Structure 1
């Protein structure tokens, strides 16, 4: 079983992750991404999806037109684990220069 992060570890991780916050209701890291339009949002979902598949760790997400809401949680840990922090970092790196200002 994967160990969940402690509240102090989650706080430290959030401080190092630009634009992410902790969603206590879902016990997950959360970020909303805004794109210029639907094609860019769909393209980002594909790119994030391939990275998630490679990491064998998959996001919970919702897409409405130019918006992508992402929650990262580790179900085996019943909360946030290092896998979520690692995937959040990958997502941030993939999205550099692609988001609506």
Structure 2
């Protein structure tokens, strides 16, 4: 899989307003009503990760999920990361403040 240029990444991010590019990865943070909802979303995301054979660097603290995507074999962000980001977007429903 080919590493995307910074210009390509920035162009693709126009379709992913919750995501940012820095430190050679795309990153997003999602807030849920409570821990249970956050953990439930993580479980659903895990199935997508297995299906795509692509796994995020992620963490959660109470109701906040933080995700970083980068394709380690390619040394940066690839289309595979955006494919997983799209799957994540369809699963999570961030809480509006």
Q: TM-score, normalised by structure 2?
A: 0.94
Residue 45 (structure 1) aligns with: 42
Residue 66 (structure 2) aligns with: 69
3-state SS of 1:16 partner: coil
Q: Where in structure 1 do 4 or more consecutive aligned residues deviate above 2 Å? A: none
3-state SS of 1:62 partner: strand
Q: What is the aligned length?
A: 96
Q: Quick check: 1:10 aligned with 2:9?
A: yes
Structure 1: state its 5+ residue gaps. Answer: none
What is the RMSD computed on CA atoms of the aligned residues?
A: 0.8
Structure 2: state its 5+ residue gaps. Answer: none
